[in-house]
């Protein structure tokens, strides 16, 4: 009775494997035979390809730092040829300064708190320094960011009655 049950479990497992294999196209089918079962089922089999090692499509040439004799027979060190630097989008993106404008009406605690809330990358100590500089000199650069961020920060500070402006950074 127990061996009969084991045999039926094996048959069910085998049928489940065949059902999974049938979901694939005939060219990818694999012949499954659970251990201990004799199968007369013959079907398409999948040949597994061994992984190929990637080969460079370009001749690499000489290693850097190797020495080669020049025309006079003296050893000469190979020098790398530097390609011109490619411009990235970051290089072309104009950056803007967000500038706090000093005002005698400001309360230091309010300005420092709002700067740190509106611009999360500015720490409290830096916000205090910016506030003091703006009060002493009339203005202070808070942060340099992209145009969209600068506009956003200026608008958010203005909502809190803190006056700021943005200026394009000169490169």
Model confidence over 38-75: pLDDT tens digits?
A: 444 455 555 555 666 766 666 666 555 555 556 666 65
Contact 163, 103 (CB under 8 A): yes
Rounded average pLDDT over 137-164: 96
Helix (H, G, I), strand (E, B) or coil at 20: helix
CA distance 1 to 9: 12
Q: Quick count: other Cβ atoms within 10 Å of Cβ 154?
A: 20
DSSP assignment, residue 27? G
CA distance 115 to 123: 9
pLDDT of residue 30: 47
Model confidence at 153, in pLDDT bands (50, 70, 90)? very high
pLDDT of residue 57: 67
User: CB-based contacts of 92: which residues, under 8 Å, 6+ apart?
Assistant: none
Backbone angles phi, psi at 7, to 5 degrees: -65, -40
Residue 103 pLDDT > 80: yes
Helix (H, G, I), strand (E, B) or coil at 75: strand
pLDDT of residue 41: 47
- pTM summary value: 0.49
Tokens read off for 126: 């830096």
Tokens read off for 156: 């958010």
Per the model's pLDDT, the better-predicted residue between 153 and 9 turns out to be 153
CA distance 171 to 166: 16
User: CB-based contacts of 100: which residues, under 8 Å, 6+ apart?
Assistant: 111, 115, 130, 131, 134, 139, 140, 141, 142, 157, 162, 163, 164
Question: To the nearest whole number, what is the mean pLDDT of the chain?
Answer: 76
User: CB-based contacts of 29: which residues, under 8 Å, 6+ apart?
Assistant: 21, 22, 43, 44, 45, 46
């Amino acid at each position: 009775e127990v061996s009969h049950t084991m045999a039926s479990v094996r048959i069910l497992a085998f049928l489940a494997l065949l059902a999974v294999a049938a979901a694939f196209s005939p060219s990818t089918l694999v012949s499954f035979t659970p251990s201990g079962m004799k199968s007369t089922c013959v079907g398409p089999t999948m040949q597994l390809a061994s992984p190929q090692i990637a080969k460079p499509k370009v001749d690499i040439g000489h290693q850097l730092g190797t020495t080669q004799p020049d025309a006079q027979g003296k050893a000469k060190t190979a020098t790398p040829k530097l390609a011109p630097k490619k411009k990235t989008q970051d290089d072309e993106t104009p950056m803007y300064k967000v500038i706090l404008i000093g005002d005698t009406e400001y309360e230091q605690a309010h300005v420092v708190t709002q700067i740190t809330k509106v611009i999360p990358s500015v720490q409290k100590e830096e916000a205090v320094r910016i506030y003091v500089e703006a009060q002493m000199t009339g203005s202070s650069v808070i942060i340099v960011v992209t145009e969209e961020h600068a506009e956003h920060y200026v608008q958010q500070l203005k909502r809190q009655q803190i006056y700021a402006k943005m200026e394009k950074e000169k490169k």
